[in-house]
Amino acid sequence: MNPRQRNIFIILTAFLLIGLALNLALGSVYISFSDLFPAIFGLGKDDNIFEKIIWQLRMPRAAAAMLAGASLSLSGLLMQTFFRNPIAGPYVLGISSGAGLGAAVWLMGAGWLLGMGLIGSSDMFNAWGLVTASCIGAGLVLLLLLAVSWRISDIGTLLILGMMLGSAVGALVMLLQFFSGREELQRFVLWSMGDLGGLSVAELWVLGPLTLIGVTVAMLLAQPLNVLLLGEDNARSLGVSVKRLRWQLIITTAVLAGSITAFCGPIAFVGIAVPHAARLLWRTQRHQILILGTVLLGMVVMLYCQLIAILPFQDKVLPINVVTSLLGAPVVVWIVLSIRK
């Protein structure tokens, strides 16, 4: 890592800390910086209302934003390397739709299963059930795309098939909605808008370790991913087990994208735009740097998107998917135009 790349890491870390502080300070109730840090570290009064606001509402929301940014950005980077496709991402290729189908099955079917006494009602059990269903849905879509990619190498055709697959999965979700009750339907509609502020402590305890495991596995696969950029035939000749690497990437991507989609809803464009921004910032294709850079940049981007979504000094909170779509869509258009050029 050269000095320029090291400096970028330092600067982005500073932006991350600033974004975290702003997310904790701003909202319907403004907390000044003189009150913020005593409240964070428990140095204020015993009945400090600011401490309750921070630790019960704003800190979980900020943690969810950082975990979502890290997971979605990293899953996008892994898919872009794996498919050798510059605009591959969990949302475009239909993987988020697959995760959404799994979540829909759980959210709209859990009430019936609970009534039959087939599942438990604890928060931790429901959290693990939701993330398992979403990861299975994301993994199935990714497996279908993998099977198609063996026969079709054209980027445009693969993207069209991914979008068609996402549409088909969306039709299945609408079918589930049609046959669901009012309460289950309301839960799913609110989930589909994208929300980082509704995660419980139990859900964060599920999401955090899964994200950490995904990042760790990706770092262990950094060198094989570097070799994979040369093509599968060259990777095999250099001793990389492409078949094993393929399964490792499928499982890692399904867990990263599926877990975030399960708890936070579908979040668009982050998985496409952030890896490209990381490549431009660090000017490298080495995954030892790109993985850490993409994770850090994704955390920063999602923190500031969340800062826009909470509408400081207002009582309303925008769906996070609205903000990421408005900011990410121009970046994706620029990427497509750059590819054609």
CA distance 119 to 123: 12
CATH number of the domain at 34, please: 1.10.3470.10
Reported as a single tens digit per residue, the pLDDT across 220-266 is 999 999 998 888 788 888 888 888 888 888 888 888 888 888 888 78
pLDDT of residue 118: 45
Q: Are 275 and 293 in contact (CB under 8 A)?
A: no
Give me the pLDDT at residue 122, please.
52
**Per-residue pLDDT, 290:** 93
Tokens 């190498």 — which residue?
Answer: 153
Return the structure tokens found at 149: 């990619």
CA distances for 139 relative to 21, 242, 247, 251, 293, angstroms: 36, 18, 10, 7, 25
Q: Tokens standing for 261?
A: 């989609």
Report residue 294 CA to chain centroid gap.
Answer: 12
Both tokens assigned to 281 = 């910032």
pLDDT of residue 10: 95
Q: What pLDDT does residue 110 have?
A: 61
Could you give the CA distance from residue 135 to residue 249 in angstroms, rounded to a whole number?
A: 13
- In whole angstroms, give the CA distance from residue 100 to residue 106: 10
The pLDDT score that the predictor gives to residue 117 is 47
Residue numbers of the domain that contains 195: 3-340
pLDDT in tens, 151-169: 765 656 766 777 788 788 8
- The domain tally of the chain equals 1
Decide: residue 39, CB within 10 A, 0-12 exposed, 13-18 middle, 19+ buried.
Answer: buried
The enclosing H or E element of 67 equals: helix 59-83
Q: Tell me the pLDDT of the chain averaged across its residues.
A: 81
What is the mean pLDDT, run by run of 10 residues, along the chain of 341 residues?
90 94 86 82 71 86 92 90 77 75 75 50 63 81 76 66 79 79 73 75 85 93 89 84 83 85 82 88 90 94 90 74 83 71 56
Q: Are 137 and 110 in contact (CB under 8 A)?
A: no
DSSP 8-state class, residue 56: I
User: In sequence order, what are the residues at sequence separation of 6 or more whose Cβ sits closer than 8 angstroms to the Cβ of residue 50?
Assistant: 31, 35, 36, 39, 44
CA atoms of 288 and 218, how far apart (whole Å):
9
Q: Give the CA diameter of the chain.
A: 65
The pLDDT of residue 332: 74
